[in-house]
């Protein structure tokens, strides 16, 4: 079946994927829009890991103010080109992340940002708890590993369950957007302010 230019454009507007990718997806899915979107996501996710080494120096700084000015967040989200930075989907991603930060109050961006001293302290606490509960020494390391995973899910932005869809993490949300835009996307940094909090 012939794929019209308007159908390709419509799919591009919805997904921010490249024109040729959109045409290929529509051809592969016989013009079915939902299947074409799924095709692009599958293709994009496998390519997302390849893109992670590409420089992401464009992007936006998004902000979110909550509770009539009681909580404020600024987050920098980077992509590779000005074209993607200006798309509605990319702007929505940055705003969603800012809103998530306001609600979930992460301490760190990613696992590698947690200071070693904090990790060692957490591990020591988990070990003491496990031994105090009479757990056998040989499974203590597994218990510590499980509790650390939970710790990361609580304090690291990219490991937290996304507030608008708790089936995915913020990291997965970013990966999904990489899949649809075809560009590397990085959450660079964030700041969260709460009125009256200790400085």
d(CA 193, CA 65): 9
Nearest to 179 by CA among 89, 59, 76, 82: 89
For the chain, which residues make up each domain, given as ranges? 5-51, 58-109+156-194, 115-154
Q: What is the dihedral of CA 12, 13, 15, 20, to 10 degrees?
A: 10
For residue 16, which phi and psi values (nearest 5 degrees)? 65, 15
In CATH, the number for domain 115-154 is 1.10.286.20
Give the pLDDT of residue 8.
Answer: 83
Q: Is the pTM of this model over 0.75?
A: no
d(CA 32, CA 11): 10
Task: Answer yes or no: same fold for 5-51 and 58-109+156-194.
Answer: no
Domain 58-109+156-194 -> CATH class: alpha beta
Tracing tokens 């000005």 back to the chain, one arrives at 82
Polymer length of the chain: 199
Burial class (CB in 10 A: 0-12, 13-18, 19+), 176: middle
Burial class (CB in 10 A: 0-12, 13-18, 19+), 17: buried
**pLDDT per position in the chain (199 positions), as tens?**
578 888 888 887 776 677 778 888 888 888 888 888 888 777 765 455 555 556 778 999 999 998 888 999 999 999 999 999 999 999 999 999 999 999 999 999 999 999 999 999 999 999 999 989 888 888 999 999 999 999 999 999 999 999 999 999 999 999 999 888 888 999 999 999 999 877 6
Tracing tokens 């507007």 back to the chain, one arrives at 13
The CATH homologous superfamily of the domain defined by 5-51: Ubiquitin-associated (UBA) domain (1.10.8.10)
């Amino acid at each position: 079946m012939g794929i019209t230019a308007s159908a390709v454009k419509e799919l591009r507007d919805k997904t921010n994927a490249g024109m040729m990718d959109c045409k290929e997806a529509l051809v592969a899915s016989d013009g079915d829009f939902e299947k074409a979107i799924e095709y692009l996501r599958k293709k994009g996710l496998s390519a997302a890991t390849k893109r992670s080494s590409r420089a992401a120096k464009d992007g936006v700084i998004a902000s979110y103010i909550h509770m009539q000015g009681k909580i404020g967040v600024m987050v920098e989200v980077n992509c590779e080109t000005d074209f993607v930075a200006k798309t509605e989907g990319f702007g929505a991603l940055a705003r969603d992340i800012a809103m998530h930060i306001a609600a979930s109050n992460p301490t760190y961006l990613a696992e590698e940002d947690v200071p070693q001293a904090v990790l060692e302290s957490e591990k020591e606490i988990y070990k003491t708890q496990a031994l105090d509960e009479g757990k056998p020494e040989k499974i203590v390391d597994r218990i510590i590993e499980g509790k650390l995973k939970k710790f990361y899910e609580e304090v690291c932005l990219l490991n937290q369950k996304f507030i608008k869809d708790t089936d995915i993490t913020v990291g997965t949300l970013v990966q999904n957007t990489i899949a649809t835009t075809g560009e590397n996307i990085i959450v660079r940094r964030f700041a969260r302010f709460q009125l009256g909090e200790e400085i």
